[in-house]
Structure 1
Amino acid sequence: MEMFKDFLLHVSFILFPIFLYHALWLSRTPAHFPKTNKLLITVFASISSALCIMYPVGSILDLQTGLQSIPLVLAILYGGYMAGIVAILISIIVKFVMYGSFLWIGLIVVPIYFFIPFLFYRKWHQYSKPNKLFYGVLIGLSKGFFIYIGLLVVSLMAYSPAFIMQQKLLELFFSTLYYIFFLVLSIYSIEFVKENAEMRSQLVQSEKLTIVSELAASVAHEVRNPLTVVRGFIQLLFSSDNTKEPPANKDYKNLVLSELDRAQDIITSYLDIAKQNYYQIESLNLSKLLEECASLMTSYANFKSVTIHQSIE
């Protein structure tokens, strides 16, 4: 029971920096979801591991055990190589200050069971939450296995192997189970915090798009009114049967009306973009498009004394 209380104390040392990281870094409301702050991860992991070392759970063969390696594993998985190495070095220094005579045992075991987290780091952010939890279990099992091998080697040098097998194996077994459980709990807590931060960031973006959509609807309404008036008067101006009217006026009328309709389509498209509607790929008549381009440029070409010749085929 006393050991379990010590484990709970270590859990508080581990989980508190996770939620503190969320409060200091992920709770901000930037334009985009904030990038990983490796400096904060390194600092929090080092402090958390140091506290676990200073208040150990118990000992196996006079070697202090506990959850001090969990912050180091999290620093590797979420902060990268540099964050993990710095946090590991700081924890080794703290362990040397606290228990200097057993530093060489840590130097033998530590590099081995941190090898697997270093392998997972590069693709860790691509894994889904269930995969991360599963790999957390594997990391915990590998850590317990390597510690057992290391302690077995030490027992061959200082004690009899039966001492480990009979008196300390059960303690090591439960210690590994606690380690796996709290490592998975820590990974789940980090993913839960990240998901909440991402959802909050998406909610902010959604609110901004809602404002843009409402503004677009208002602007579209104000612009469509004068366009409707202009279209009506143009139709009225060209509706009279004037025999002296040049034949080209009919083309100009159609051109102006088509441009007004195109302006309406642009406004409608702008509203669709603001609403984030999904679009489908459609086939396009290229010949018709080129004819429209030529007709649109006719008035400007005439103003510049340029004649446009079409050869679409």
Structure 2
Amino acid sequence: MDIDALLLNFLFILLPIFLTYMVFSLKPDLHRHLKTTIITIFSSLSIIMCMNYSIQLVEGFYYDLRVLPFTLTLLYAGHRVGFFVLIITAVYRFSIGGDGFVVTVILFLALFAGTALLVKKFEQSSLKGRLFIPPFIIVLFQLAVVFNYKYIFQHDFHFTFGEWVTIFSINILGMLFVTYIIELLMKITKIQEELVKTEKLKVVSELAASVSHEIKNPLTVTRSIIQLVMNQKDKIPEEKQQYYFEVAIEELERANRMLTDYMTLSKPQVDRIEPIDLSQEVIKTIHLITPLAKMKGIYVKMSVEKSGIIQGDKAKLHQCLLNLMKNGIEAMEEGGTLQVETWSKQSDCNIKIKDNGTGMNEAELKRLGTPYYSTKDGGTGLGMVVVYSLVKIMEGSIDIQSRPSEGTNVVLSFPTIIRTR
């Protein structure tokens, strides 16, 4: 027996299985019809390659492992996929020619029909049952092969008992091995899915706890102020009441901003795609942030060039820029300079936001953009998560460099659809 050809048969069976696993792992959300098409193609290729590297044991008798991928396709992918694979197998076998075409069609039709009786049992079985049923089908198939050749077509190939045992053993052990590999890959996939679900539940629970904690603080302050004013309305001067109401409004606005951040985090998508003049939007954002900068004793240095037109959502771009500029201002507790620049380079529009504040070390920089991590006291880290998400959705990129006590440099890049001068 040609061992090299036999090993090639096993390679042609295992390689499509691993390729299918890789495709489905990388693209878990593929449409069902596309998954069916991929399985059909890989299964058919596996059978065809096995037939191309068949082994001639004696004159007129060729042996290969095509029955293994065909049986596994019927059991794991169903008879709809198996039917298309059967048609492809029959057409290819007919193109090869030879006396074995009729025998092949009869045996594979019988296998197709017989496996249908065991599919439901196979799907409901435990691992032991799923490892037992495919080899059992192979035993029945090999007995049918012997019966057809010896008694119906009356071909006597003069195989010894030991040679028949070898053929049966290769098929049975091969099927057992390949089935175990498939079950192992399916178990790995299931574990990965469970890990993803567990991680999502963990994030949801942390998010809920964070929302509860962050929203509770401004609401508690607002409630206390309202109670104070209601209970001591006659004793509190009007100016003081006005001040308290302003504080209450600020706290409610803070709660509203937090809810907005959480909503953006949970559904970071652009609502309206439109052309955006990047330079003009940066200037508008600078005008919005300037009053806050002046209150903190920070000078905003602006160097805005005509950079180009990008595509995205203006509101979301404003949110990104405001978050980044606000972070820069809050990082300069003792005053400083916030530099904002725009320029175009090749097919990109670029924005740089630089501060000379406290900066971050390498470990802090790596964790930037992680939910619930912030270098600010009382920060949730959601602002930067939103920035990363929105920049990605707008097909842009973000590069952040920082050093402790030296400041932070953030560069946003977006693809240009029209360059302006």
Task: Give TM class, smaller chain.
Answer: 0.5 to 0.7
Change in Cα spacing, 1:218 to 1:113, as seen in structure 2 (3 Å) is closer
The aligned residue for residue 134 of structure 1 is 132
SS of 1:125's equivalent? Answer: helix
Distance 1:146 1:238 in 2: 93
Q: Which amino acid aligns with 2:214?
A: E
- The structural deviation recorded for 1:49 is 0.4
Distance 2:160 2:110 in 1: 21
Q: In structure 1, list runs of 5 or more residues that go unmatched.
A: 240-313
Q: Which amino acid aligns with 1:104?
A: V
SS of 2:187's equivalent? Answer: helix
Report the number of matched residues. 231
Q: Which amino acid aligns with 1:45?
A: S
Structure 2 contact 131–176 (Cα < 8 Å) conserved? yes
- The structural deviation recorded for 1:60 is 5.3
SS of 2:27's equivalent? Answer: coil
Distance 1:213 1:234 in 2: 31
Q: Which amino acid aligns with 2:53?
A: Y
Residues 28-177 of structure 1 mapped to structure 2, 5 A cutoff:
28-30=27-29, 37-59=35-57, 62-154=60-152, 157-159=154-156, 164=158, 167-177=159-169
- The structural deviation recorded for 1:119 is 1.7
The aligned residue for residue 207 of structure 2 is 215
Structure 1 contact 67–179 (Cα < 8 Å) conserved? yes
Deviations 1:235-292 (A, max 9, x none): 99999xxxxxxxxxxxxxxxxxxxxxxxxxxxxxxxxxxxxxxxxxxxxxxxxxxxxx
Q: Which amino acid aligns with 1:75?
A: T
- The structural deviation recorded for 1:128 is 2.2
- The structural deviation recorded for 1:17 is 0.2
Change in Cα spacing, 1:149 to 1:220, as seen in structure 2 (3 Å) is same
Distance 2:90 2:107 in 1: 12
Distance 1:77 1:60 in 2: 32
Change in Cα spacing, 1:52 to 1:105, as seen in structure 2 (3 Å) is same
- The structural deviation recorded for 1:187 is 1.4
SS of 2:57's equivalent? Answer: strand
Q: Which moved more, 1:192-201 or 1:142-151?
A: 192-201
- The structural deviation recorded for 1:211 is 2.0
The aligned residue for residue 189 of structure 2 is 197
- The structural deviation recorded for 1:158 is 4.7
Q: Which amino acid aligns with 1:189?
A: I
SS of 2:54's equivalent? Answer: coil
Percent identity, please: 28
- The structural deviation recorded for 1:9 is 0.9
Query: What TM-score results when the alignment is normalised by the length of structure 2?
Result: 0.49
Q: Which amino acid aligns with 2:186?
A: K
Structure 1 contact 60–172 (Cα < 8 Å) conserved? no
- The structural deviation recorded for 1:41 is 1.4
Q: Which amino acid aligns with 1:43?
A: I
Distance 2:198 2:28 in 1: 13
Greater strand share, structure number = 2
Structure 1 contact 57–65 (Cα < 8 Å) conserved? yes
- The structural deviation recorded for 1:133 is 0.3
Structure 1 contact 53–94 (Cα < 8 Å) conserved? no
**Which fold has the larger relative contact order, with Cα–Cα distance below 8 Å and residues 6 or more apart in sequence?**
1
Distance 1:158 1:206 in 2: 60
- The structural deviation recorded for 1:61 is 5.9
The aligned residue for residue 242 of structure 1 is none
The aligned residue for residue 302 of structure 2 is none
Change in Cα spacing, 1:15 to 1:158, as seen in structure 2 (3 Å) is closer
SS of 1:122's equivalent? Answer: helix
Structure 2 contact 72–134 (Cα < 8 Å) conserved? no
Distance 1:151 1:173 in 2: 16
Confirm whether residue 6 of structure 1 aligns to residue 34 of structure 2: no
Distance 1:97 1:63 in 2: 18
Structure 1 contact 56–66 (Cα < 8 Å) conserved? yes
Q: In structure 2, list runs of 5 or more residues that go unmatched.
A: 232-421
The aligned residue for residue 288 of structure 1 is none
The aligned residue for residue 254 of structure 1 is none
- The structural deviation recorded for 1:22 is 1.0
Distance 2:146 2:223 in 1: 86
Greater helix share, structure number = 1
Change in Cα spacing, 1:38 to 1:169, as seen in structure 2 (3 Å) is farther
Deviations 1:96-152 (A, max 9, x none): 222333212223333233433222223433322221101122112111111111121
Change in Cα spacing, 1:70 to 1:11, as seen in structure 2 (3 Å) is same
Structure 1 contact 57–66 (Cα < 8 Å) conserved? yes
Q: Which amino acid aligns with 2:7?
A: L
Distance 1:123 1:227 in 2: 59
